[in-house]
């Protein structure tokens, strides 16, 4: 059963990318001929279930956007300035989402390879009273270590997943969670963790498509190599996949 309502995407691209070591924020560096964040924006734009997109960007980019961002704004994409922490940036993005929206997808602008098929799978499992999170099962052996790097114990990986994005929630539910977080001074690494803190159910959705987060400069080469392998399908249409 596919989702047939009205959704909105909040692309979080407000970070400074300190670990990346570039003058440009990592989400705006060139990737296979276009700004990194533009890859996922175009995928959400091409998805039939999304009525609109908000990009959360550093304040100076919201005030004086480069040409490619100005073109996106002219086409109807909303630009808003981010906050001091990721939780703040998501809250500011959510404030732009129209009230008639059913579901909101929060996605990292540094994950350029998300596919329409993966987005559709997460949409299908987001419900009226719970969120859904893209992810995948942990397959590596896990070790807990002390401050000196000594292994304390092995960790059972059977029930462990890596959380990715998009993370999709009913609009009213995630907006209220972020309002509560602001009142209580709470910051979390992602929306799923915020919902867990406030007792909101979240389900994990196993996606199989590559969905790496670009964190360091060497990640760019890996992502570009993947794009090169996919060839024309990616370079002409964005990493689209099947809309489902």
The structure tokens 């909040």 sit at 10
pLDDT band at 243 (very low <50, low <70, confident <90, very high): very low
Contact 184, 194 (CB under 8 A): no
**Average pLDDT over every residue of 83-97:** 96
DSSP letter for 128, please: T
Contact 211, 134 (CB under 8 A): yes
Lowest-confidence pick of 16-30, 97-111, 161-175: 16-30
Q: What share of the chain in percent tops pLDDT 70?
A: 90
Lowest-confidence pick of 13-17, 34-38, 131-135, 221-225: 13-17
**pLDDT recorded at residue 24:** 83
Sheet containing 202-206: order of strands: 78-81, 50-57, 7-12, 103-108, 161-170, 131-137, 202-206
Lowest-confidence pick of 4-8, 22-26, 58-62: 22-26
**pLDDT recorded at residue 240:** 44
Q: Is 9 helix (H, G, I), strand (E, B) or coil?
A: strand
Specify the higher pLDDT residue, 242 or 12. Answer: 12
**Average pLDDT over every residue of 9-32:** 82
pLDDT, one tens digit per residue, over 166-217 is 999 999 999 999 999 999 999 999 999 999 999 999 999 999 888 999 988 8
**Average pLDDT over every residue of 54-69:** 95
**pLDDT recorded at residue 229:** 81
Q: Which two tokens stand for residue 139?
A: 């397959």
Residue 208, CA distances (Å) to 59, 115, 148, 164 in order: 35, 10, 36, 12
Task: Answer whether residue 239 shows pLDDT above 70.
Answer: no
**pLDDT recorded at residue 235:** 43
**pLDDT recorded at residue 212:** 94
Nearest to 105 by CA among 58, 40, 150: 40
Return d(Cα 29, Cα 169) in angstroms, integer: 29
Return d(Cα 169, Cα 177) in angstroms, integer: 11
Task: Answer whether residue 22 shows pLDDT above 70.
Answer: no
pLDDT, one tens digit per residue, over 106-141 is 999 999 999 999 999 999 999 889 999 999 999 999
Average of per-residue pLDDT values in the chain: 90
**pLDDT recorded at residue 228:** 87
**Average pLDDT over every residue of 34-61:** 96
């Amino acid at each position: 059963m596919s989702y047939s309502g009205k959704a909105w995407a909040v692309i979080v691209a407000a970070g400074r990318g300190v670990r990346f070591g570039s003058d440009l924020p990592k989400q705006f560096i060139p990737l296979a001929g276009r700004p990194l964040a533009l890859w996922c924006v175009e995928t959400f734009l091409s998805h039939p279930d999304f009525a609109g997109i908000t990009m959360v960007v550093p304040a100076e980019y919201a005030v004086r956007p480069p040409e490619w961002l100005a073109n996106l704004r002219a086409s109807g994409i909303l630009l808003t300035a981010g906050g001091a922490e990721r939780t703040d940036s998501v809250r500011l993005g959510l404030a732009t989402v129209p009230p008639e929206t059913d579901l909101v997808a929060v996605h990292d602008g540094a994950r350029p390879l998300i596919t329409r098929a993966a987005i559709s799978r997460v949409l299908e499992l987001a419900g009226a009273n719970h969120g859904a999170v893209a992810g995948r099962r942990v397959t590596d052996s896990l070790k807990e270590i002390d401050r000196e790097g000594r292994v304390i114990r092995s960790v059972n990986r059977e029930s462990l997943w890596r959380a990715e994005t998009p993370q999709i929630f009913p609009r009213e539910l995630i907006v209220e969670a972020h309002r509560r977080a602001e009142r209580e001074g709470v910051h979390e690494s992602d929306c799923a963790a915020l919902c867990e803190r406030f007792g909101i159910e979240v389900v994990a959705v196993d996606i199989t498509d590559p969905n790496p987060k670009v964190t360091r400069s060497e990640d760019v080469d890996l992502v570009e190599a993947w794009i090169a392998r996919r060839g024309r399908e990616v370079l002409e249409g964005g990493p689209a996949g099947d809309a489902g």
